[in-house]
Structure 1
Amino acid sequence: MSTLEMIEAAADRLHGHVRETPLLTSPFLDELAGRRVLVKPECLQHTGSFKFRGAWSAISALNAKELKRGVIAYSSGNHAQGVALAATRHGISSVIIMPLDAPQLKIDNTRALGGEVVLYDRANESREEIGEALANERGLTLIRPYDEPLVIAGQGTTGLELARQAAELDVDRGDVLVCCGGGGLTSGIALALEGHAPGLRARPCEPEGFDDVKRSLATGQIQNNNAAAGNICDAILTPQPGDITFPILKRLCGPGLSVTEEEAMRAMALAFLRLKIVLEPGGAVSLASALFRKDEIEGDAVIVVASGGNTDAEVFGKALEFLT
């Protein structure tokens, strides 16, 4: 189980290797949300998402024998790129299992960063089964995308930064909205906030129709999504919360929030217009929640973790159409 101590240890290993992302503000977004909005743009992180934090945390903790054998991961794209780059910078090999329908940009980037890409059909095949089989066959260490303590610890460093930055801006109470798939980022941030900013409350944000975490928190039991694909927010489409992440989410998080695809696209457009940053749909659901679910949010200020910006030009172009 991940702990605050593991997150703080991960922060030491990550020091000098990850970017500390800022908190951005815009009076235009404040007006739309009806409160102060602080946006932490993890789209500015190495590889364009927070996933590099968890990948570096896990790989940097491997022993010499494990490093020599190499690593394997499965991902729709952001964890893939994070693991590929972290592995390359450690001088080791990486195999990445990715869905056939992942954005081409993410597939191309993963290969360019040094990963060997293995494609699969996520509607009919199990990435977990493929990953376990290849790991056993080649002797690789599997770096899971969210249900892995060292990965959660790395993602939790986002929360350490956020807690310090919020304190500097005199924000000590309020909701912290986090884009959520399997819950690695959300649970890591929740643990960091518990230790360093207990007045801030993490809340998972998801696309409608794939809101398994929201439903799981509401019922107290892990709920599944009925489909594995079929939403533009590809980065956060997971079957269900993780076995490791859900107990943390259940103990520490506030109720989940969910938004439509259109609202995620509108948030992308507004992030570009008002903050001058590029978000992908799955990385924009937290901002969309702040702007379009404001009656479900508490406090005079809300913090938004914009988790990633790896979007294809075509999708980004469609998002910008909402500005006209």
Structure 2
Amino acid sequence: MLTLQAIHDAAARLRGQVLETPCVESRTLSQIVGAQVFLKFENLQFTASFKERGACNRLAQLSPEERARGVVAMSAGNHAQGVAYHAQRLGVRAVIVMPRFTPGVKVERTRGFGAEVVLHGDTLEEARQHAYQLAEQQGLTFVHPYDDEAIAAGQGTLALEMLRAQPDLDTLVISVGGGGLIAGVATAAKALKPGITVVGVQTQRFPSMVNAVLGTHHPMGTATIAEGIAVGTPGKMTQEVVARLVDELLLVDEGDIEQAVLMLLEIEKTLVEGAGAAGLAALVRHPARFAGKKVGLVLSGGNIDPLLLAAIIERGMVRSGRLARIQVSARDVPGVLAQITATVAAAGANIEEVHHQRAFTMLAAQNVEIDLVLQTRGKAHVEEVLAALRAAGMQAATH
């Protein structure tokens, strides 16, 4: 059984092998959500994720025979890099099975840590079955991403660090995929501080632990920006721990996670992947639930695809009004475009895109329709730009 002693033993093994990451208050986020928010920066680990802790603890306990034969793991993400990096450090052969669709950057990064990467199957399940086959054929030890007590004990070491740094924490909000992190955290936290509240967070698209523990039948989706917690079936061991020790499970949607990623980037100047921002997303979605509490959040990883990050930033700018699309219609006479752009410039907005429409419009033939994408200071500034265009005799509205 997963115990506090096992987590203390893991902490002793990990000393000097993984980073003891900072756990500090974010005053700005605290003001925004109405709770005292403390952030545990696991995105600062060498492979940018807490997954190193469990991987290192599991590998450190291999017998000499197991070490000589090597390990195999199945993962498309952070677990792969954690196993590969610590196997390389310990001089252990590591084979990582990844689905064929895994982004090239993740494959190369895992290879960069010295692992042998095998691309197999179109789904995580197919990749997992192949990993089990390799384990049997080559005598490799299978390192499970979450359903393993040594893995969960390793992940639980970050709770020891959080409560040592911030003993007054009364609530921990933890993202949940397969459940390795929350099983370790809940075991450590409840043993050290029985009155502490542990809250798990899943996405509405992958509510597998919620369904398993609460007996609900929320539909399962196919994709989420929090791919690190997109797990179809939770672990058996982890599910038992969650049912016994976790006080509440909450769901957040994609928009909440996008907003949380952007808040952490803008306010804390820290890059967090979707799964790592799920805890903050829960505070944004359910502020009344956490009002006045001292809440610990784990920024569990920072491995986000740059194109996804670019899309999140741009969409966030649209939501806040700093990127706005407006439509202007005016008489189609020489110089009208120059007049429009001059009016926009005088109002202090910057033009990012212009689309000048003659044929595809329902306006009278002598009129022209112009779509503009503007960089502004926010929604109030957009209204100022529209007012300036109307004052210049044009029709203007957001589009």
Instruction: Please report how far the alpha carbon of residue 124 of structure 1 lies from its aligned counterpart in structure 2 after TM superposition.
Output: 8.1
1:92-111 aligned at under 5 Å gives the runs 92-111=92-111
State the Cα distance separating 1:299 from its structure 2 match: 4.9
Q: Which amino acid aligns with 1:110?
A: T
1:137 aligns with 2:137: yes
User: 1:90, CA displacement in angstroms?
Assistant: 0.4
1:195 pairs with 2:191: yes
**For the pair shown, which has the larger CA radius of gyration, 1 or 2?**
2
What residue identity is the alignment partner of 1:202? V
Q: For 1:107 and 1:142, locate their aligned partners in 2 and report how far apart those are by CA, in whole Å.
A: 19
- Within 2, Cα distance between the matches of 1:73 and 1:60? 15
Q: How far apart are the structure 1 equivalents of 2:93 and 2:256?
A: 39
Query: Does the 8 Å contact 1:177/1:204 carry over to 2?
Result: yes
Larger RCO (CA under 8 A, 6+ residues apart): 1
Q: Secondary structure at the match of 2:24?
A: coil
Q: Which residue of 284, 287, 294 maps to 1:294?
A: 287
8 Å CA contact 1:225–1:239 kept in 2: the answer is no
* Residues 120-146 of structure 1, C-alpha deviations (whole Å, 9 max, x = no match): 334485333111101011111000000
Instruction: Report the alpha carbon displacement of residue 31 of structure 1 after superposing the two structures with TM.
Output: 1.9
1:256 aligned counterpart, secondary structure:
strand
Decide whether aligned partners of structure 1 residues 84 and 224 sit closer, same or farther in structure 2, where only a CA change above 3 A counts.
Answer: farther
1:306 aligns with 2:302: no
Q: Which amino acid aligns with 2:213?
A: L
Residue matched to 1:27: 27
- Aligned positions, number: 317
- Deviation track 1:169-223 (CA, whole Å, cap 9, x = no partner) reads xx242x211111000000000001012122322221111121111233323x8x7
**Are the equivalent residues in 1 in contact too, given 2:279–2:298 (CA < 8 A)?**
yes
What letter matches 1:137 in structure 2? Answer: Q
Aligned runs of 1:75-90 on 2, under 5 Å?
A: 75-90=75-90
Supply the AA of the counterpart residue of 1:316. Answer: L
Q: In the alignment, what sits opposite 1:15?
A: 15
The within-5 A match list for 1:268-287 is: 268-287=261-280
1:72–1:94 contact (8 Å) kept in structure 2: yes
In the aligned structure 2, how far is the partner of 1:256 from the partner of 1:206? 7
- The verdict on how the C-alpha distance between 1:187 and 1:211 changes in structure 2, with shifts beyond 3 A counting, is same
Whichever residue aligns with residue 192 of structure 2, its letter is H
Q: Is the 8 A contact 1:4 1:192 kept in 2?
A: yes
Contact 2:59 2:87 in 1 (8 A): yes
Distance 1:286 1:75, change over 3 A: same
Paired-residue identity, %: 36
Moved over 4 A (4+): none
In structure 2, the CA distance between the partners of 1:75 and 1:208, relative to structure 1 (3 Å rule), is same
In structure 2, distance between residues paired with 1:143 and 1:313: 29
Q: Secondary structure of the equivalent of 1:244?
A: helix
- Cα gap change, 1:217/1:161 in structure 2, threshold over 3 Å: closer, same or farther? same
Note the residue ranges of structure 2 that are not aligned, 5 or more in a row. Answer: 323-399
Amino acid at match of 1:18: V
Distance 2:125 2:189 in 1: 37
| C-alpha deviation, 1:312, in angstroms | 1.4
Greater share of strand residues, 1 or 2? Answer: 2
Matched, 1:73 2:66: no
Corresponding residue for residue 52 of structure 1? 52
- Whole-Å Cα distance in 2 between the matches of residues 288 and 37 of structure 1? 12
Q: CA deviation at 1:242?
A: 0.7
Quote the residue 1:263 is aligned against. Answer: 256
**1:211 corresponds to 2:207:** yes
Instruction: Tell me whether 1:153 sits opposite 2:153 in the alignment.
Output: yes
Q: Supply the AA of the counterpart residue of 1:286.
A: G
Distance in 2 between residues matched to 1:15 and 1:49, nearest whole Å: 17
* Normalised TM-score (structure 1): 0.92
Indicate if the aligned counterparts of 2:98 and 2:124 stay in contact, CA closer than 8 A.
Answer: no
AA at the equivalent of 1:49 = S
CA distance, structure 1, for counterparts of residue 124 and residue 276 of structure 2: 26
Segments of structure 1 that go 5 or more residues without pairing to the other structure are none
Cα distance in 2, alignment partners of residues 190 and 159 from structure 1: 8
Please report how far the alpha carbon of residue 268 of structure 1 lies from its aligned counterpart in structure 2 after TM superposition. Answer: 0.8
Cα distance in 2 for partners of 1:209, 1:297 equals: 23
